[in-house]
Structure 1
Amino acid sequence: MAAGNAPLGLASLVLLAGSIVMIFFVILAGVKDTAPLNKTYFLQADTSGISGARAVSQWTYFYVCGPDNTDCSKAYAAMPFRTPWADDASGVPDGLNSNYYYLMWRFGWVFYLIALFFDVCAFFAGFLACCGRLGAALSGLIALTALVFYSVAVSLMTATFVKARNAFKDNGHDAKIGTYAFGFSWGAWGCIFIAVILFFIGVRGNHDGGRRGWRRRRSVRSHASYDVGGRRVKDDYS
């Protein structure tokens, strides 16, 4: 990415920075009672009919909380979906204690962290994108890796909690997915996706510019050779 294409690198850095902030909003949901952390959750459901569960449960990245992410449980790493109630609790909607939800959210949890790691790496590598084509290519590859892992993470999150919401509703429980968590998650995905495109546009633009410059130099040399040849021919006829 040549100096003329530096705005592409800067735009990619801004997008990656935005994606990192939004992912942290999701991960830190429930840590403090401040906006938007107190409004960010994956699923809110009426769990009053389930033995051992609170009246309303909100699933966040590390906690199960009450309304507005208050009265949260202790933090869990790779928290199982059925954390709000015991394994033998009664009144649980069909299927929510199955291994499907247990594994889907655990894998989603892990892929979030992996994606965040590569997203941060892509951000710092992005400063090299303003220095040349190699830096842009390296940044693009790292950002693409982050995009792959993050695509898996948000897909698992979406499938898990949309199906869980439907299971609660089918059992007569009020439930809704979290607008903030889904908005931040897919917004971050969009930022990474666009940043990847901009990085690779920078690589291609620099390459095409080099090719055009080589063609111009070649054309000038050919023209000069023709002129010299023309003068030699005219000398012969004189």
Structure 2
Amino acid sequence: MKFSAKLLWKIITLLFFAGNVLLLILIIISGTTQHYPVNRFYWVEADTNGIPNASSLTRWTFWGACGEVNDKTVCGENLSPAYPISPVDNFKTKENVPKRFISERDAFYYLSRFAFCFFWIALAFVGISFILFIFSWFSRYLLQVVFILMAFGCLFNVCAVIFQTAVTAMAKSSFHGDDRHAKIGASLMGIAWASAVVSIFEFVSLTTWFASSKLREYYQGDSLTEKHHNNFFHRESEPLNVPEPMMSPDAYSPNPNTNMVNDSNGPVTNPNGINNNEAVGSPNLPIVQEQITTPLPAVVPAEESRHKGINFFTIRRSHKPNPDDVSV
């Protein structure tokens, strides 16, 4: 069931990608051909009768201003990239041009040109995302690249539609303000907004997948860590076996039964914990014992003993204790 739901999500997202690319292509080819239905696509249609160098009815498409014949868009040879919806710039005159096109000329000019550029950028990002999304079915990391590309594609697509809608609505209002007929091309404007909605859906879908995958990795991280703790590369730490202190073979070892003398006047005890003064019976009776001072053997560090073949820290004695060291 989980596999089927994931496969269904991939197929639906793939169809939306293909639809978004197709809608953007339809926007871009408007005004470039006389064939149906592309010859019915335009942003705004207005009455330009009386304006020099303009036909009686003008339709602004993606590539420029075209005439209208029998409800068909007929474009001439004056098409160019980033063609603005601005009669002042289109027809090179201010005569009989609505006043708003003159007073707000920069707004019409730059909104149109930015919309033109943003549509191309959106098509580039969405098109690359569409191609990579097909290969991302075999690579999870490639799907992350698609998510990043689609984020930019959605941004530019929505901004292009907003800019184009704004300049189209302003142009219609300007012609109406001069008592001229004007209407917005429902077909092309509907295609533009459909592409924006589809791109938003794609971005939300990829965002949902990206967030769910990150959450799944986060919640599975602890269990995966515990699972790999005991594998070949993650062994549990064990206490090191530290070797016993090394002593010289000719070092003198005192007899464990020999009584030790305390330098102070306190009680004298042997290694078995018995008070020698009490064993003798007289606490004031001096006891003569040997006090042998034997230096402690040097302890070889564990790390150095493992890495060095020769032990330089072993202390050897070349002479036996002197009998003169006996104290009374």
Deviation at 1:219, TM superposition (A): 10
Q: Are the structure 2 counterparts of residues 59 and 205 from structure 1 closer, same or farther at C-alpha, using a change threshold of 3 Å?
A: same
Q: Give the residue type in structure 2 aligned to 1:46.
A: D
Q: Are the structure 2 counterparts of residues 8 and 135 from structure 1 closer, same or farther at C-alpha, using a change threshold of 3 Å?
A: farther
Per the alignment, residue 88 of structure 1 pairs with 93
Deviation at 1:212, TM superposition (A): 5.8
Per the alignment, residue 31 of structure 1 pairs with 32
Deviation at 1:105, TM superposition (A): 0.5
Residues 8 and 202 of structure 1 are in contact (CA less than 8 Å); yes or no, is this contact kept in structure 2? no
Deviation at 1:203, TM superposition (A): 2.4
Residues 66 and 74 of structure 2 are in contact (CA less than 8 Å); yes or no, is this contact kept in structure 1? yes
Q: Give the residue type in structure 2 aligned to 1:188.
A: S
Query: Where is the helix percentage greater, Structure 1 or Structure 2?
Result: 1
Q: Give the residue type in structure 1 aligned to 2:124.
A: F
Residues 154 and 200 of structure 2 are in contact (CA less than 8 Å); yes or no, is this contact kept in structure 1? yes
Q: 2:203 aligns with which of 196, 202, 225?
A: 196
Unaligned runs of 5+ in 1: 221-238
SS in 1 for 2:100: coil
Per the alignment, residue 108 of structure 2 pairs with 101
How many residues in Structure 1 have an aligned counterpart in Structure 2?
220
SS in 2 for 1:26: helix
Q: Give the residue type in structure 1 aligned to 2:48.
A: T
Q: Give the residue type in structure 1 aligned to 2:106.
A: N
Runs of 4+ in 1 over 6 A off after TM superposition: 215-220
Deviation at 1:123, TM superposition (A): 0.7
Residues of 2 paired with 1:194 and 1:70: CA distance?
Answer: 35
CA offsets per residue over residues 147-169 of structure 1, 9 Å max, x none? Answer: 11112111110110101100001
Deviation at 1:119, TM superposition (A): 1.0
Q: 1:124 aligns with which of 121, 126, 131?
A: 131
Indicate the percent of aligned positions where both proteins have the same amino acid: 21
SS in 2 for 1:25: helix
Residues 3 and 131 of structure 1 are in contact (CA less than 8 Å); yes or no, is this contact kept in structure 2? no
CA RMSD of aligned residues (A): 2.5
TM-score, scaled relative to structure 2? 0.61
* Aligned residue runs from structure 1 range 140-151, under 5 A: 140-151=147-158
Deviation at 1:217, TM superposition (A): 7.3
Deviation at 1:60, TM superposition (A): 0.5
Greater RCO structure (CA 8 Å; 6+ sep): 1
Residues of 2 paired with 1:44 and 1:199: CA distance?
Answer: 38
Per the alignment, residue 52 of structure 2 pairs with 51
Unaligned runs of 5+ in 2: 228-328
CA offsets per residue over residues 180-236 of structure 1, 9 Å max, x none? Answer: 11111110111111111112222233344455656777999xxxxxxxxxxxxxxxx
CA offsets per residue over residues 72-103 of structure 1, 9 Å max, x none? Answer: 34320111323575333411001214121111
Deviation at 1:65, TM superposition (A): 1.2
Q: Which has the larger radius of gyration?
A: 2
Moved more, 208-217 or 125-134: 208-217
Q: Are the structure 2 counterparts of residues 35 and 86 from structure 1 closer, same or farther at C-alpha, using a change threshold of 3 Å?
A: closer
Residues of 1 paired with 2:97 and 2:198: CA distance?
Answer: 38
Q: Give the residue type in structure 2 aligned to 1:176.
A: K
Residues 65 and 73 of structure 1 are in contact (CA less than 8 Å); yes or no, is this contact kept in structure 2? no
